Amino acid sequence: MPQKDYVKASRPKARTSKPRQSGAGRAAAKTAPTAKPWLLLAITSLLIGGFIYFLWFLNQQPAVEVTAAPAPPKTVKKDDLPVKPTEEPYQYIKELENKEVKVEVTEQQAAGPYQMQCGSFRVQTQAETMKAQIAFVGFSSEIRRTDGNNGVWYRVVLGPYESKRQATADRNRLRQQGINTCQIWNWS
């Protein structure tokens, strides 16, 4: 048994109450021209004719020649430069040739060895995990156990470094690998 479509068959459509026209009246209403084609043709031909007249009018105009005004004759100026001196007027050039400058260079004292701490943990297994991550980057680190006022801490430390620049270079390489917790300390 075929299924019945209840949505379409729910209600019959209501008829609108318009006055009915006869068959001839409806056909006349549908075929009534809305625009007059002879008017459109007349306007188009008028525009085309006006454009052609405009082009003809421009062609009939006499050409205007533009003549340049005669240029005034150029006068040749004599070279009015001063005479080149035979001797240098400035004395500092000769003085600086034989001048010796003494500069005092002071040696900078090394600030001391640096170390880099990458983590401080209460549990030793967490410190060993951090040490393994640092080893995968290619650096060797060590775990130092410290007894502080608030308990035992396991610190992951790299170094010592002779300069802060070396420590900063290693810290930047660790940051590229995702280890962002390292701090540089002066180890004195």
Q: What is the pLDDT of residues 121-172, one digit of tens each?
A: 999 999 999 999 999 999 999 999 999 899 999 999 998 998 899 999 999 9
Q: How confident is the model at residue 59 (pLDDT cuts 50, 70, 90)?
A: confident
- Label residue 180 by pLDDT band (50, 70, 90): very high
Residue range 49-60: mean pLDDT, rounded? 91
* pLDDT value, residue 188: 66
Strand-pair partners of 184: 116
Model pLDDT, residue 16: 67
Using CA atoms, how far apart are residues 98 and 100, in angstroms rounded to an integer?
A: 7
Tell me, what's the pLDDT at 133? Answer: 95
Q: Residue 25 pLDDT > 80, yes or no?
A: no
Q: For each of the domains in the chain, give its residue range(s) and CATH number, in order of start.
A: 114-186 (3.30.70.1070)
| Res 99: pLDDT | 82
Residue 85's pLDDT band (cuts 50, 70, 90):
confident
Residue 184: pLDDT band with limits 50, 70, 90: very high
Q: Residue 8 pLDDT more than 70?
A: no
Cβ atoms of 153 and 122 closer than 8 Å: yes
Which residues does residue 146 pair with via DSSP β-bridges, in sequence order? 153
Q: Please enumerate in sequence order all residues whose Cβ is within 8 A of that of 22, keeping only pairs 6 or more positions apart, or say none.
A: none
Query: Does residue 173 register a pLDDT over 60?
Result: yes
Whether residue 82 contacts residue 132, with contact meaning beta carbons closer than 8 Å, is answered with: no
- Asked whether the beta carbons of 118 and 159 are under 8 A apart, the reply is no
Contact 159, 167 (CB under 8 A): yes
Tell if the pTM clears 0.85, that is, is over it. Answer: no
Between the two ends of the chain, the Cα-to-Cα distance in Å is 97
